[in-house]
Structure 1
């Protein structure tokens, strides 16, 4: 990340720069690929009150630019306020990426999981399988195949009219047909 710290009407010291760097490093934990950040600290004196104004600009890869401004009497409090607000914004952006992924990215993930070795697939994931229906079956034949398979709950097959059918075991011990 490229960091630029500027002081307007105010002399920046090394401890202030180090404090700003320290706060900006905490923003890296969201993994949003911050390209550059610019911090402008200016002394602000209006109506006899002294204070500091801090402007933070973050350029994010593929996400745009985030601009946050804040004022406070204490310089370190102003920097903390800006860092906290930037942290909230970046957390929201990170959550959007995690929960609202593009459909193309989801398709890529599904394809990657389908091609992954079986050891890596969790129990809750759906594993695509090919349907082995080489010849059409009579309904009685499909029923006998399902009865013969002790662990089978259903059987998908093509009937004699080339219509795809599903025969399944019901909870009451009978069989159903779609």
Structure 2
């Protein structure tokens, strides 16, 4: 983690610097130590201002706090920054989980349901004219009839259409 410290009207003691580095280690663990951190400590009259700017990937995180005590100001700014980084890290993780779920739900080509062939009763295919085949189809409950056309000596299919008429398929 690249750390830059700036102080304004504040003396940077080793204890404050140690406390900052220890607290920023938590953020470094969350952000994989690939972040640039700029800490600004300022004193204005009786108030202490702490501003921590973190740049990670393409994101900017800012934690600011203003209190009467420098130590509590640093702690409060770190807490705010930690909440932001954890929230952003969770968004990245959720996005990754969502894409994994999407990939898992896609069906594999090999898992397609097999098509079964169901045998139906056999009929003797005797030569019929289209008119005779139409009479047989109208008398039965079937939706189609396969027959050998007596006029052309070829196999033909006669079927009931949705408009109530009959259709004839001849190769």
TM-score range, shorter chain: 0.5 to 0.7
Shift of 1:34: 4.0
2:68 paired residue number:
73
Distance of aligned partners of 1:138 and 1:94 in 2 relative to their CA distance in 1, 3 Å threshold:
same
Q: 1:13 to 1:127 in 2, by over 3 A?
A: same
**2:89 aligned residue:** 94
In 1: Cα distance, 2:6 partner to 2:61 partner? 18
| Regions of 4+ moved over 4 Å | 131-134
- Tell me which of 56, 74, 80 is aligned to 2:52: 56
1:83 equivalent in alignment to 2:78: yes
Please give the secondary structure, in 1, of the residue aligned with 2:88.
Answer: helix
Describe the shift of the 1:140–1:89 C-alpha distance in structure 2 as closer, same or farther (beyond 3 A).
farther
Q: In structure 1, how many angstroms separate the alpha carbons of the residues matched to 2:48 and 2:112?
A: 72
Q: Supply the distance in 2 between the matched residues of 1:58 and 1:24 (Cα, whole angstroms).
A: 10
C-alpha change, 1:13 and 1:102, in structure 2 (3 Å) is same
- Is the 8 Å Cα contact of residues 31 and 56 (structure 2) preserved in structure 1? no
Note the C-alpha offset of 1:131: 4.8
Distance 2:63 2:112 in 1: 59
Check the 8 A contact 1:33/1:60 in 2, yes or no: no
2:149 matched to which residue of 1? none
Scaled by the length of structure 2, what TM-score is found? 0.59
| CA RMSD between the two structures | 3.2
Question: Following TM superposition, by how much is the alpha carbon of 1:32 offset from its aligned partner in structure 2, in angstroms?
Answer: 5.3
Q: Cα deviations across residues 83-120 of structure 1 (Å, max 9, x unaligned)?
A: 111111111101111113497xx26x94xx8xxxxxxx
Report the CA distance shift for 1:130/1:14 in structure 2 as closer, same or farther (over 3 A).
same
Structure-1 residue corresponding to 2:10? 10
Larger radius of gyration: 2
Q: Residues 133 and 94 (structure 1 numbering): CA distance in 2 closer, same or farther, change over 3 Å?
A: closer
Unaligned runs of 5+ in 1: 114-124, 142-178
Alignment of 1:106-117 (within 5 A): 106=99, 110=103
